[in-house]
Amino acid sequence: MDYVINTSLVQQHNAVLRADLEADYAALAGTLARRGQDIEKLTTLAQGFQVALPSWGVGTGGTRFARFPGVGEPRNVEEKLADCAVINQLTGATPLVSLHFPWDKPSDPKALFERAKSLGLSFDAVNSNTFQDQAGQAHTYKYGSLTAMSAAAREQAVQHNIECIELGRQLGSKGLTVWVGDGANFPGQSNLRGALERYLDSMRGIYAALPADWLMYIEHKLFEPAFYATTIADWGTSFACAQTLGEKAKCLVDLGHHAPNTNIEMIVARLAQFGKLGGFHFNDSKYGDDDLDSGSIDPFQLFLVFNELADAALRDGPAFKPAYMLDQSHNVTDPIESLMSSAVEVQRAYVQAALVDRIALAGFQEANDVHQAAQTLKRAFRTDVSPILAMARMRSGAAVDPVACYRTVGYRAQKAAERPAKAGASGSGIV
Protein backbone atom coordinates (compact mmCIF):
# COMPACT_ATOMS: atom_id res chain seq x y z
CA MET A 1 0.00 0.00 0.00
CA ASP A 2 1.16 3.55 -0.77
CA TYR A 3 1.14 5.61 2.41
CA VAL A 4 1.02 9.29 1.60
CA ILE A 5 2.60 10.21 4.93
CA ASN A 6 5.80 8.43 5.88
CA THR A 7 4.64 5.83 8.42
CA SER A 8 7.70 6.28 10.60
CA LEU A 9 6.68 9.93 11.14
CA VAL A 10 3.28 8.77 12.38
CA GLN A 11 4.95 6.26 14.68
CA GLN A 12 7.27 8.95 16.05
CA HIS A 13 4.28 11.18 16.73
CA ASN A 14 2.51 8.33 18.52
CA ALA A 15 5.59 7.37 20.53
CA VAL A 16 5.71 10.85 22.08
CA LEU A 17 2.03 10.72 23.14
CA ARG A 18 1.83 7.05 24.06
CA ALA A 19 2.53 7.19 27.81
CA ASP A 20 -0.02 9.96 28.45
CA LEU A 21 -2.61 8.17 26.34
CA GLU A 22 -2.13 4.91 28.21
CA ALA A 23 -2.58 6.70 31.53
CA ASP A 24 -5.78 8.43 30.33
CA TYR A 25 -7.05 5.17 28.87
CA ALA A 26 -6.45 3.27 32.13
CA ALA A 27 -8.27 5.96 34.10
CA LEU A 28 -11.27 5.84 31.75
CA ALA A 29 -11.22 2.03 31.80
CA GLY A 30 -11.63 2.21 35.58
CA THR A 31 -14.52 4.68 35.41
CA LEU A 32 -16.32 2.60 32.78
CA ALA A 33 -15.69 -0.67 34.64
CA ARG A 34 -17.48 0.79 37.68
CA ARG A 35 -20.45 1.36 35.35
CA GLY A 36 -20.22 -2.22 34.13
CA GLN A 37 -18.74 -1.26 30.75
CA ASP A 38 -15.76 -2.85 29.06
CA ILE A 39 -13.45 -0.29 27.47
CA GLU A 40 -11.87 -2.89 25.19
CA LYS A 41 -15.22 -3.60 23.51
CA LEU A 42 -15.73 0.10 22.92
CA THR A 43 -12.25 0.48 21.45
CA THR A 44 -12.89 -2.40 19.04
CA LEU A 45 -16.16 -0.73 18.10
CA ALA A 46 -14.36 2.55 17.44
CA GLN A 47 -11.77 0.77 15.30
CA GLY A 48 -14.57 -0.64 13.12
CA PHE A 49 -16.22 2.74 12.55
CA GLN A 50 -16.13 4.22 9.03
CA VAL A 51 -17.44 7.42 7.50
CA ALA A 52 -16.99 8.29 3.80
CA LEU A 53 -15.28 11.47 2.67
CA PRO A 54 -16.82 13.83 0.11
CA SER A 55 -14.35 14.32 -2.74
CA TRP A 56 -15.57 17.91 -3.00
CA GLY A 57 -14.76 18.51 0.66
CA VAL A 58 -10.98 18.43 0.25
CA GLY A 59 -11.01 21.58 -1.86
CA THR A 60 -12.02 24.96 -0.46
CA GLY A 61 -15.77 25.11 -0.89
CA GLY A 62 -16.75 28.58 0.11
CA THR A 63 -20.25 29.96 0.14
CA ARG A 64 -22.44 31.24 -2.64
CA PHE A 65 -20.98 34.70 -1.95
CA ALA A 66 -17.28 34.00 -2.19
CA ARG A 67 -14.59 31.46 -2.29
CA PHE A 68 -11.16 31.95 -0.82
CA PRO A 69 -8.84 29.34 -2.29
CA GLY A 70 -6.40 27.72 0.07
CA VAL A 71 -2.85 26.75 -0.75
CA GLY A 72 -2.06 23.37 -2.21
CA GLU A 73 -5.68 22.58 -3.13
CA PRO A 74 -6.19 19.40 -5.13
CA ARG A 75 -6.62 20.18 -8.83
CA ASN A 76 -8.06 16.89 -10.01
CA VAL A 77 -9.60 13.69 -8.73
CA GLU A 78 -6.24 11.95 -8.28
CA GLU A 79 -5.03 14.76 -6.01
CA LYS A 80 -8.33 14.68 -4.13
CA LEU A 81 -7.74 10.98 -3.50
CA ALA A 82 -4.26 11.69 -2.14
CA ASP A 83 -5.74 14.17 0.37
CA CYS A 84 -8.45 11.67 1.32
CA ALA A 85 -5.75 9.06 1.87
CA VAL A 86 -4.01 11.40 4.33
CA ILE A 87 -7.25 11.82 6.26
CA ASN A 88 -7.73 8.07 6.35
CA GLN A 89 -4.13 7.36 7.29
CA LEU A 90 -4.25 9.75 10.24
CA THR A 91 -7.78 9.00 11.50
CA GLY A 92 -8.12 5.34 10.51
CA ALA A 93 -11.83 6.03 10.02
CA THR A 94 -12.34 7.18 6.42
CA PRO A 95 -11.42 4.47 3.89
CA LEU A 96 -14.32 5.41 1.57
CA VAL A 97 -14.65 8.33 -0.82
CA SER A 98 -17.87 9.63 -2.32
CA LEU A 99 -17.27 11.00 -5.84
CA HIS A 100 -19.29 13.70 -7.60
CA PHE A 101 -19.77 13.65 -11.38
CA PRO A 102 -18.91 15.31 -13.67
CA TRP A 103 -16.50 17.12 -11.27
CA ASP A 104 -14.60 13.88 -10.63
CA LYS A 105 -15.21 12.14 -13.93
CA PRO A 106 -12.19 9.92 -14.58
CA SER A 107 -10.74 9.55 -18.05
CA ASP A 108 -9.83 5.99 -17.08
CA PRO A 109 -12.13 4.55 -14.37
CA LYS A 110 -10.07 1.36 -14.07
CA ALA A 111 -6.89 3.36 -13.41
CA LEU A 112 -8.72 5.47 -10.80
CA PHE A 113 -10.03 2.35 -9.12
CA GLU A 114 -6.48 0.96 -8.96
CA ARG A 115 -5.07 4.25 -7.70
CA ALA A 116 -7.66 4.34 -4.92
CA LYS A 117 -6.92 0.75 -4.03
CA SER A 118 -3.20 1.40 -3.78
CA LEU A 119 -4.01 4.24 -1.36
CA GLY A 120 -6.21 1.96 0.77
CA LEU A 121 -9.40 3.67 -0.44
CA SER A 122 -12.57 2.50 -2.11
CA PHE A 123 -15.65 4.30 -3.37
CA ASP A 124 -18.92 4.88 -1.58
CA ALA A 125 -22.05 6.23 -3.28
CA VAL A 126 -21.48 8.39 -6.34
CA ASN A 127 -23.30 11.72 -6.67
CA SER A 128 -24.90 13.10 -9.79
CA ASN A 129 -24.96 16.79 -10.57
CA THR A 130 -27.91 18.30 -12.37
CA PHE A 131 -27.93 21.44 -10.26
CA GLN A 132 -25.58 23.37 -12.53
CA ASP A 133 -24.98 23.50 -16.26
CA GLN A 134 -21.78 22.01 -17.61
CA ALA A 135 -19.85 23.53 -20.49
CA GLY A 136 -21.33 22.47 -23.80
CA GLN A 137 -24.42 20.73 -22.46
CA ALA A 138 -27.38 20.79 -24.81
CA HIS A 139 -30.22 21.72 -22.42
CA THR A 140 -30.07 24.10 -19.48
CA TYR A 141 -31.13 23.20 -15.93
CA LYS A 142 -32.02 26.80 -15.21
CA TYR A 143 -35.68 25.80 -14.81
CA GLY A 144 -35.08 22.40 -13.30
CA SER A 145 -33.57 19.06 -14.21
CA LEU A 146 -35.50 15.93 -13.25
CA THR A 147 -38.64 18.07 -12.91
CA ALA A 148 -38.06 20.45 -15.82
CA MET A 149 -40.96 21.29 -18.09
CA SER A 150 -38.65 20.54 -21.00
CA ALA A 151 -38.74 16.83 -21.76
CA ALA A 152 -35.31 17.13 -23.35
CA ALA A 153 -33.79 18.63 -20.19
CA ARG A 154 -35.39 15.88 -18.10
CA GLU A 155 -34.07 13.21 -20.40
CA GLN A 156 -30.58 14.73 -20.32
CA ALA A 157 -30.69 14.69 -16.49
CA VAL A 158 -31.85 11.06 -16.46
CA GLN A 159 -29.07 10.07 -18.86
CA HIS A 160 -26.48 11.86 -16.70
CA ASN A 161 -27.61 9.84 -13.67
CA ILE A 162 -27.42 6.63 -15.69
CA GLU A 163 -23.90 7.59 -16.76
CA CYS A 164 -23.03 8.14 -13.07
CA ILE A 165 -24.27 4.63 -12.30
CA GLU A 166 -22.10 3.23 -15.08
CA LEU A 167 -19.01 5.09 -13.87
CA GLY A 168 -19.74 4.09 -10.29
CA ARG A 169 -20.10 0.47 -11.33
CA GLN A 170 -16.63 0.51 -12.84
CA LEU A 171 -15.29 2.05 -9.63
CA GLY A 172 -16.89 -0.48 -7.30
CA SER A 173 -19.54 1.88 -5.87
CA LYS A 174 -22.83 0.44 -4.71
CA GLY A 175 -25.03 3.50 -4.61
CA LEU A 176 -26.16 6.68 -6.31
CA THR A 177 -27.08 9.79 -4.35
CA VAL A 178 -29.52 12.07 -6.12
CA TRP A 179 -29.87 15.61 -4.88
CA VAL A 180 -31.63 18.11 -7.13
CA GLY A 181 -32.08 21.80 -6.52
CA ASP A 182 -35.30 21.75 -8.53
CA GLY A 183 -38.20 23.80 -7.31
CA ALA A 184 -39.76 27.21 -7.61
CA ASN A 185 -38.66 30.66 -6.53
CA PHE A 186 -42.11 32.21 -6.85
CA PRO A 187 -45.66 31.11 -6.14
CA GLY A 188 -47.23 30.16 -9.41
CA GLN A 189 -43.90 29.40 -11.08
CA SER A 190 -44.68 25.73 -11.21
CA ASN A 191 -47.50 23.37 -10.47
CA LEU A 192 -46.43 21.81 -7.18
CA ARG A 193 -47.98 18.43 -7.81
CA GLY A 194 -47.00 18.37 -11.46
CA ALA A 195 -43.34 18.94 -10.57
CA LEU A 196 -43.30 15.94 -8.26
CA GLU A 197 -45.03 13.80 -10.88
CA ARG A 198 -42.30 14.69 -13.37
CA TYR A 199 -39.64 14.00 -10.72
CA LEU A 200 -41.03 10.53 -10.09
CA ASP A 201 -41.26 9.83 -13.76
CA SER A 202 -37.59 10.79 -14.24
CA MET A 203 -36.50 8.86 -11.16
CA ARG A 204 -38.23 5.74 -12.46
CA GLY A 205 -35.96 5.92 -15.50
CA ILE A 206 -32.87 6.13 -13.26
CA TYR A 207 -34.11 3.46 -10.87
CA ALA A 208 -34.55 1.05 -13.78
CA ALA A 209 -30.83 1.37 -14.54
CA LEU A 210 -29.70 0.49 -10.98
CA PRO A 211 -27.73 -2.76 -10.70
CA ALA A 212 -29.38 -5.34 -8.43
CA ASP A 213 -27.01 -4.74 -5.51
CA TRP A 214 -27.19 -0.94 -5.64
CA LEU A 215 -29.16 1.56 -3.60
CA MET A 216 -30.45 4.93 -4.67
CA TYR A 217 -30.29 7.63 -2.00
CA ILE A 218 -32.82 10.44 -2.24
CA GLU A 219 -31.49 13.56 -0.52
CA HIS A 220 -34.04 16.12 0.61
CA LYS A 221 -33.28 19.75 1.36
CA LEU A 222 -35.59 22.40 2.75
CA PHE A 223 -34.57 25.19 0.39
CA GLU A 224 -31.76 26.64 -1.72
CA PRO A 225 -31.47 27.25 -4.59
CA ALA A 226 -35.28 27.15 -4.84
CA PHE A 227 -36.47 29.59 -2.19
CA TYR A 228 -40.23 29.26 -2.44
CA ALA A 229 -40.90 25.56 -2.98
CA THR A 230 -38.25 22.88 -3.30
CA THR A 231 -39.57 19.72 -4.94
CA ILE A 232 -37.86 17.32 -2.50
CA ALA A 233 -37.93 19.59 0.53
CA ASP A 234 -38.51 17.22 3.40
CA TRP A 235 -38.26 13.66 4.61
CA GLY A 236 -41.95 13.08 4.03
CA THR A 237 -41.63 13.75 0.31
CA SER A 238 -38.39 11.78 0.19
CA PHE A 239 -40.06 8.88 1.98
CA ALA A 240 -43.08 8.90 -0.33
CA CYS A 241 -40.81 8.90 -3.38
CA ALA A 242 -38.62 6.10 -1.99
CA GLN A 243 -41.76 4.04 -1.26
CA THR A 244 -43.11 4.67 -4.72
CA LEU A 245 -39.85 3.82 -6.50
CA GLY A 246 -39.17 0.55 -4.73
CA GLU A 247 -36.89 -1.43 -2.41
CA LYS A 248 -33.63 0.00 -3.68
CA ALA A 249 -34.67 3.60 -3.09
CA LYS A 250 -33.87 5.01 0.36
CA CYS A 251 -33.78 8.38 2.04
CA LEU A 252 -30.58 10.28 2.77
CA VAL A 253 -30.50 12.70 5.67
CA ASP A 254 -28.13 15.66 5.34
CA LEU A 255 -28.17 17.22 8.80
CA GLY A 256 -28.02 20.76 7.42
CA HIS A 257 -31.07 20.35 5.22
CA HIS A 258 -33.70 21.09 7.84
CA ALA A 259 -35.19 24.14 9.47
CA PRO A 260 -33.38 25.22 12.65
CA ASN A 261 -34.52 23.22 15.70
CA THR A 262 -36.03 20.41 13.65
CA ASN A 263 -35.94 17.19 15.63
CA ILE A 264 -33.64 15.32 13.24
CA GLU A 265 -33.21 12.32 15.52
CA MET A 266 -36.94 11.72 15.29
CA ILE A 267 -36.76 11.79 11.49
CA VAL A 268 -33.99 9.20 11.80
CA ALA A 269 -36.16 7.03 14.05
CA ARG A 270 -39.10 7.27 11.67
CA LEU A 271 -37.10 6.39 8.55
CA ALA A 272 -35.41 3.50 10.35
CA GLN A 273 -38.74 2.17 11.59
CA PHE A 274 -40.06 1.96 8.06
CA GLY A 275 -36.87 0.58 6.49
CA LYS A 276 -36.12 3.66 4.44
CA LEU A 277 -33.10 5.15 6.21
CA GLY A 278 -30.42 4.97 3.53
CA GLY A 279 -27.69 7.13 4.94
CA PHE A 280 -26.35 10.48 6.03
CA HIS A 281 -24.48 13.51 4.97
CA PHE A 282 -22.95 14.61 8.25
CA ASN A 283 -22.13 18.25 8.90
CA ASP A 284 -23.31 20.88 11.35
CA SER A 285 -25.29 24.05 10.99
CA LYS A 286 -26.66 27.00 12.88
CA TYR A 287 -29.12 28.37 10.34
CA GLY A 288 -29.37 26.43 7.09
CA ASP A 289 -27.21 24.31 4.83
CA ASP A 290 -24.14 25.79 6.52
CA ASP A 291 -21.93 22.73 5.93
CA LEU A 292 -19.88 23.39 9.05
CA ASP A 293 -17.68 20.75 10.65
CA SER A 294 -19.60 17.88 12.25
CA GLY A 295 -20.19 18.41 15.94
CA SER A 296 -18.96 22.01 15.83
CA ILE A 297 -22.31 23.63 16.65
CA ASP A 298 -24.55 21.03 18.25
CA PRO A 299 -22.68 17.89 19.31
CA PHE A 300 -25.65 16.83 21.45
CA GLN A 301 -27.83 16.60 18.34
CA LEU A 302 -25.21 14.41 16.68
CA PHE A 303 -25.17 12.20 19.76
CA LEU A 304 -28.97 11.95 19.76
CA VAL A 305 -28.91 10.90 16.09
CA PHE A 306 -26.46 8.13 16.96
CA ASN A 307 -28.57 7.21 19.95
CA GLU A 308 -31.43 6.47 17.54
CA LEU A 309 -29.06 4.60 15.24
CA ALA A 310 -27.90 2.43 18.16
CA ASP A 311 -31.52 1.71 19.04
CA ALA A 312 -32.32 0.79 15.42
CA ALA A 313 -29.23 -1.44 15.18
CA LEU A 314 -30.36 -3.29 18.29
CA ARG A 315 -33.87 -3.77 16.95
CA ASP A 316 -33.00 -4.61 13.35
CA GLY A 317 -29.63 -6.38 13.65
CA PRO A 318 -26.93 -6.48 10.98
CA ALA A 319 -29.44 -5.72 8.20
CA PHE A 320 -29.45 -2.13 9.44
CA LYS A 321 -26.48 -0.49 7.70
CA PRO A 322 -27.03 3.14 6.78
CA ALA A 323 -24.25 4.77 4.76
CA TYR A 324 -22.26 7.39 6.65
CA MET A 325 -20.79 10.22 4.63
CA LEU A 326 -19.50 13.68 5.45
CA ASP A 327 -20.74 16.61 3.39
CA GLN A 328 -19.03 19.84 4.37
CA SER A 329 -17.65 22.98 2.88
CA HIS A 330 -14.57 24.70 4.25
CA ASN A 331 -13.91 28.34 3.60
CA VAL A 332 -11.76 29.39 6.53
CA THR A 333 -10.10 26.17 7.70
CA ASP A 334 -7.75 23.68 6.10
CA PRO A 335 -10.18 21.12 4.59
CA ILE A 336 -8.01 18.19 5.64
CA GLU A 337 -8.03 19.37 9.26
CA SER A 338 -11.79 19.98 9.19
CA LEU A 339 -12.54 16.59 7.67
CA MET A 340 -10.29 14.81 10.16
CA SER A 341 -11.96 16.59 13.07
CA SER A 342 -15.39 15.79 11.69
CA ALA A 343 -14.62 12.11 11.18
CA VAL A 344 -13.48 11.97 14.79
CA GLU A 345 -16.58 13.82 16.03
CA VAL A 346 -18.93 11.47 14.20
CA GLN A 347 -16.99 8.52 15.57
CA ARG A 348 -17.20 10.08 19.04
CA ALA A 349 -20.99 10.27 18.81
CA TYR A 350 -21.06 6.64 17.69
CA VAL A 351 -19.04 5.50 20.72
CA GLN A 352 -20.95 7.74 23.14
CA ALA A 353 -24.21 6.26 21.88
CA ALA A 354 -22.82 2.80 22.62
CA LEU A 355 -22.31 3.93 26.23
CA VAL A 356 -26.02 4.49 26.81
CA ASP A 357 -27.33 2.03 29.37
CA ARG A 358 -30.33 0.89 27.30
CA ILE A 359 -31.76 -1.44 29.93
CA ALA A 360 -31.74 1.32 32.54
CA LEU A 361 -33.19 3.76 29.99
CA ALA A 362 -36.07 1.41 29.12
CA GLY A 363 -36.75 0.96 32.85
CA PHE A 364 -36.90 4.71 33.47
CA GLN A 365 -39.16 5.16 30.46
CA GLU A 366 -41.50 2.46 31.68
CA ALA A 367 -41.63 3.97 35.15
CA ASN A 368 -42.14 7.47 33.74
CA ASP A 369 -39.00 8.58 35.56
CA VAL A 370 -38.41 11.40 33.15
CA HIS A 371 -35.50 12.95 35.02
CA GLN A 372 -33.49 9.77 35.21
CA ALA A 373 -34.28 8.84 31.62
CA ALA A 374 -32.89 12.16 30.45
CA GLN A 375 -29.89 11.78 32.75
CA THR A 376 -29.14 8.35 31.31
CA LEU A 377 -28.57 9.95 27.92
CA LYS A 378 -26.68 12.88 29.41
CA ARG A 379 -24.34 10.60 31.31
CA ALA A 380 -23.26 8.89 28.10
CA PHE A 381 -22.98 12.21 26.28
CA ARG A 382 -20.89 13.77 29.05
CA THR A 383 -18.37 10.92 29.05
CA ASP A 384 -15.15 12.01 27.42
CA VAL A 385 -14.35 9.07 25.16
CA SER A 386 -11.29 10.76 23.62
CA PRO A 387 -8.86 8.16 25.06
CA ILE A 388 -10.92 5.38 23.40
CA LEU A 389 -10.79 7.15 20.04
CA ALA A 390 -7.07 7.87 20.34
CA MET A 391 -6.31 4.30 21.40
CA ALA A 392 -8.37 2.97 18.49
CA ARG A 393 -6.29 5.13 16.16
CA MET A 394 -2.98 4.08 17.67
CA ARG A 395 -3.89 0.41 17.41
CA SER A 396 -4.96 0.88 13.78
CA GLY A 397 -1.68 2.56 12.89
CA ALA A 398 -3.30 6.00 12.62
CA ALA A 399 -2.28 9.09 14.60
CA VAL A 400 -3.06 9.63 18.28
CA ASP A 401 -3.68 13.32 17.48
CA PRO A 402 -4.46 13.53 13.73
CA VAL A 403 -4.37 17.32 13.37
CA ALA A 404 -1.14 17.71 15.37
CA CYS A 405 0.51 14.94 13.38
CA TYR A 406 -0.69 16.47 10.08
CA ARG A 407 0.77 19.83 11.06
CA THR A 408 4.07 18.27 12.09
CA VAL A 409 4.62 16.39 8.85
CA GLY A 410 4.09 19.54 6.76
CA TYR A 411 1.81 17.96 4.14
CA ARG A 412 0.07 21.19 3.19
CA ALA A 413 3.32 23.12 2.71
CA GLN A 414 4.61 20.36 0.48
CA LYS A 415 1.41 20.42 -1.61
CA ALA A 416 1.50 24.21 -1.83
CA ALA A 417 4.77 23.86 -3.69
CA GLU A 418 3.60 20.98 -5.86
CA ARG A 419 0.13 22.25 -6.74
CA PRO A 420 0.05 25.81 -8.00
CA ALA A 421 -3.42 27.38 -7.66
CA LYS A 422 -5.91 26.72 -10.42
CA ALA A 423 -8.68 29.21 -11.10
CA GLY A 424 -12.26 27.91 -10.68
CA ALA A 425 -11.28 24.53 -9.23
CA SER A 426 -14.07 22.00 -9.52
CA GLY A 427 -16.21 21.09 -6.59
CA SER A 428 -16.91 24.66 -5.59
CA GLY A 429 -20.30 26.27 -5.50
CA ILE A 430 -23.49 25.04 -3.94
CA VAL A 431 -23.02 22.33 -1.37
- Binding ligand AOS (rule: CB under 6 A), the pick from 25, 56, 199, 214 is 56
Under DSSP, the state recorded for 284 is B
H-type alpha helices, 180-253: 192-207, 235-245
Cis before 211? omega within 30: no
Rg (CA), the chain: 22
Task: Establish if 219 lies at the interface with ligand AOS (CB under 6 A).
Answer: yes
Minimum distance of Zn ion from residue 224's CB (angstroms) = 8
Residues 6+ apart with CB under 8 A from 330: 57, 60, 61, 293, 338, 339
Question: Looking at beta carbons only, is 83 or 254 nearer to ligand AOS?
Answer: 254
Minimum distance of Zn ion from residue 341's CB (angstroms) = 17
The one segment of 68-76, 103-111, 112-120, 288-296 that binds Zn ion by CB under 5 A: 288-296
Q: In what helix (H) or strand (E) does residue 175 lie, and over which residues does it extend?
A: strand 175-178
For residue 56, the partner it binds in ligand AOS, Zn ion, none, with Cβ less than 5 to 8 A by kind, is ligand AOS
Contacts within 8 Å (CB) and 24+ apart, 112-115: 112/77, 112/78, 112/81, 112/171, 113/170, 113/171, 113/172, 115/78, 115/81
Distance CA 361, CA 38 (A): 19
Distance CA 371, CA 365 (A): 10
Distance CA 268, CA 323 (A): 13
Minimum distance of Zn ion from residue 281's CB (angstroms) = 4
Minimum distance of ligand AOS from residue 40's CB (angstroms) = 37
Minimum distance of Zn ion from residue 329's CB (angstroms) = 7
Task: Establish if 43 lies at the interface with ligand AOS (CB under 6 A).
Answer: no
Minimum distance of Zn ion from residue 427's CB (angstroms) = 13
Question: Looking at beta carbons only, is 52 or 148 nearer to Zn ion?
Answer: 52
Task: Establish if 284 lies at the interface with Zn ion (CB under 5 A).
Answer: no
- Binding ligand AOS (rule: CB under 6 A), the pick from 101, 179, 280, 303 is 179
Task: Establish if 327 lies at the interface with Zn ion (CB under 5 A).
Answer: yes
Minimum distance of ligand AOS from residue 252's CB (angstroms) = 8
Task: Establish if 281 lies at the interface with ligand AOS (CB under 6 A).
Answer: yes
Task: Name which of 146, 106, 139 is nearest 231 in CA terms.
Answer: 146
Task: Name which of 409, 427, 420 is nearest 335 in CA terms.
Answer: 427
Distance CA 153, CA 148 (A): 6
- Binding Zn ion (rule: CB under 5 A), the pick from 73, 104, 124, 254 is 254
Question: Looking at beta carbons only, is 3 or 131 nearer to ligand AOS?
Answer: 131
Task: Establish if 265 lies at the interface with Zn ion (CB under 5 A).
Answer: no
Residues 322-361, one symbol each (x = binds ligand AOS by CB under 6 A, - = not), give: -----x----------------------------------
Calculate the alpha carbon distances from 102 to 92, 129, 176 in Å.
28, 7, 13
Using an 8 Å Cβ cutoff, are 405 and 15 in contact?
Answer: no
Minimum distance of ligand AOS from residue 224's CB (angstroms) = 7
Q: Which residues bind Zn ion (CB under 5 A)?
A: 254, 256, 281, 289, 291, 327, 431
Q: Which residues bind ligand AOS (CB under 6 A)?
A: 56, 100, 127, 179, 219, 221, 254, 281, 289, 327, 430-431
